[in-house]
């Protein structure tokens, strides 16, 4: 499968060129639905997170990437799917829910865009909503220095402990969404130090 071939090639690049370090792999549940929620500073972030995760990760990627002639085939082969960021994208939401209901791993960059200076931007609530709606574990992921690989940076990917909120049935409140989003933000901020 193309995904695993690409993952192996990227592993070699990260391991031997980028001085890559991974922490907390044991925090990723081996089975069941998982939402990986990460910070975002570089186009290399999905590669670093996807290679670091022992399970196949389906990333939400901005729709604009799927308009690039050759690149769209590559990211589709890597199991990514498009999301329109400026509006509520029902098709992306449906795909994300399907991924989680099939007990797969969904990757989301909660800031919604790359941070130009590496500082955490406010998180959008989508990852928390999806985790609460499906009962998936939400695993915070801190990605450090992918924007500095050609300036002496050492890429580090850290997986935090899964965050879960107990809810009755499938109903959740806006406060629970906010609390889970805030918990993911604070955990990633702490891991980036």
pLDDT tens digit sequence for 59-74: 999 999 999 889 999 9
DSSP track, 61-109: EEGGGGGSTTHHHHHHHTT-EEE-TTS--HHHHHHHHHHHHTT-EEEEE
At 190 the pLDDT is 97
Low-confidence ranges of the chain (pLDDT < 70): 168-170
Identify the H or E element spanning 92.
helix 90-101
| Alpha carbons 144 and 50: distance in angstroms, whole number | 14
Contact indicator for 37, 139 with CB cutoff of 8 Å: yes
Domain range 2-191, its CATH number among 1.10.357.10, 3.20.20.100, 3.40.1130.10, 3.60.110.10: 3.40.1130.10
Domain boundaries, the chain: 2-191
At 168 the pLDDT is 58
Regarding pTM above 0.85, the answer is yes
At 170 the pLDDT is 67
At 171 the pLDDT is 83
At 10 the pLDDT is 95
| Alpha carbons 37 and 49: distance in angstroms, whole number | 10
At 49 the pLDDT is 97
pLDDT tens digit sequence for 136-165: 999 999 999 998 877 777 899 999 999 977
At 169 the pLDDT is 58
């Amino acid at each position: 499968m193309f995904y695993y071939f690409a993952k192996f090639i990227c592993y070699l690049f990260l391991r031997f060129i980028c001085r890559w370090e991974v922490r907390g792999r044991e925090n990723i549940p081996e089975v069941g639905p998982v939402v990986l929620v990460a910070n975002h500073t570089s186009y290399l972030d999905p590669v670093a997170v996807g290679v670091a995760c022992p399970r196949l990760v389906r990333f939400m990627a901005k729709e604009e990437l799927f308009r690039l002639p050759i690149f769209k085939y590559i990211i589709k082969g890597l199991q990514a799917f498009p999301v329109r960021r400026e509006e509520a994208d029902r098709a992306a939401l449906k795909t994300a829910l399907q991924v989680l209901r099939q007990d797969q791993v969904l990757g989301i960059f909660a800031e919604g865009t790359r941070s130009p200076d590496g500082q955490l931007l406010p998180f959008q609530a989508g990852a928390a909503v999806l985790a609460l709606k499906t009962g998936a574990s939400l695993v915070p992921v801190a990605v450090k220095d992918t924007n500095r690989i050609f300036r002496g940076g050492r890429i580090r990917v850290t997986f935090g402990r899964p965050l879960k909120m107990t809810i009755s049935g499938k109903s959740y409140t806006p406060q629970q969404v906010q609390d889970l989003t805030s918990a993911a933000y604070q955990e990633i901020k702490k891991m980036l130090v």
